[in-house]
């Protein structure tokens, strides 16, 4: 049985805070493609391993990634269910704005002379 749990505002805030940084978005994109070690994730960045570990920790607190220990390495993997939460939130904003734009379109399409007669 699948139960949809509505995320709290704090959870949504953590997700979008995590996604607000370009490095974290890049890390997430890389682990969506395939699980990687923290040290492999750190290689392309001009920053220290501890700095990358902090970025991974922010993503992990948001639930966007998970870590598992394999020997001496920590492997980072994406958590698709949490990524879906972000997408669903953005879909709600898109629907809201589409509704607002449609309402403005209807107002602009109305004949102003018809409103004066009413």
Q: b vs e for 30-57, b when ≥16 Cβ sit within 10 Å of the residue's Cβ?
A: bbeeebbbbebbbeeeeeeeeebbebbe
Per-residue pLDDT of the chain (118 residues; tens, 9 = 90+): 555 667 889 999 999 999 999 999 999 999 999 999 999 999 999 999 999 999 999 999 999 999 999 899 999 999 999 999 999 998 988 888 888 888 888 888 887 776 655 5
Distance between terminal CA atoms of the chain? 55
Per-domain boundaries in the chain: 9-110
CATH architecture of residue range(s) 9-110: Orthogonal Bundle (1.10)
Question: What is this structure's pTM?
Answer: 0.78
């Amino acid at each position: 049985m699948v139960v949809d749990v509505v995320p709290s505002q704090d959870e949504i805030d953590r997700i979008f805070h995590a996604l607000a940084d370009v490095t974290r978005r890049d890390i997430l994109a890389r682990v969506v493609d395939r699980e990687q070690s923290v040290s492999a994730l750190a290689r392309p960045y001009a920053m220290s391993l501890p700095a990358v570990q902090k970025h991974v920790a922010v993503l992990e607190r948001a639930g966007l990634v998970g870590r598992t220990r394999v020997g001496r390495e920590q492997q980072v993997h994406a958590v698709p269910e949490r990524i879906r939460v972000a997408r669903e939130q953005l879909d709600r904003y898109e629907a809201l704005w589409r509704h607002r734009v449609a309402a403005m379109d209807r107002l602009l399409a109305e004949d102003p002379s018809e409103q004066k007669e009413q």
